[in-house]
Amino acid sequence: MEPSPTVWRLDGVLLDVLTELGASFERVEAGAYVVVLHGRRRPRTLVWLIAGEQAVAVEAFVVHVIGVADPGPLHRHLLGRNLRRRTVHYAVDDVGDVFLAGSLPLGALDVDGVDRVLGEVLQALEDDQEALLALAYGDRLAADPALAAKVHADGAGRRPAGTPDRSPRRDVRR
């Protein structure tokens, strides 16, 4: 399906804004960009920016949850953290993996707006990474080096199992 004129226009705006910010990014298709964020606790995070008719969707993979017997404490923590978020919020997909998801209204699609939303994603991950890993895995990471390596590799931006490597987790162009 051919992108709409709105998506084509926003593609140019996103390209200009990301270039002006000096962000590390890749244009995947018209209106869809992957931005690479670098942090202290999480060295590399991929953030999708996907232009739609009403807003630009923002999505970042947070943690791949493997074999958690009781996800309740993790989910309660995520809901509590969502109260502190403005633009992006924690979400859980159908297999239990955790994402940050949100949207940037078209009126806020400028250097300041994109910088603010990318900063919020990075701050959320820097603030919550260790707590989320502890809630999801407890002592299993220390006891199982192979699991720890897999979890930390997932945190580098790999898409969860069953998701195409070069596409967002969901279609946001409604």
Those residues whose C-beta lies under 8 Å from the C-beta of residue 122, and which sit 6 or more positions away, are 37, 39, 45
Measure the CA–CA gap between 25 and 118, rounded to whole angstroms: 12
What are the sequence ranges of the domains in the chain? 5-154
Q: Is the pTM of the predicted complex or chain greater than 0.75?
A: yes
Task: Specify the higher pLDDT residue, 134 or 55.
Answer: 55
> Is 5-154 a domain of CATH 3.30.1460.10?
yes
Task: Specify the higher pLDDT residue, 117 or 165.
Answer: 117
- Judge whether 55 and 105 are in contact, CB under 8 Å: yes
Task: Specify the higher pLDDT residue, 149 or 85.
Answer: 85
Angle between helices 145-154 and 111-137 (to 10 degrees): 160
- Judge whether 47 and 27 are in contact, CB under 8 Å: no
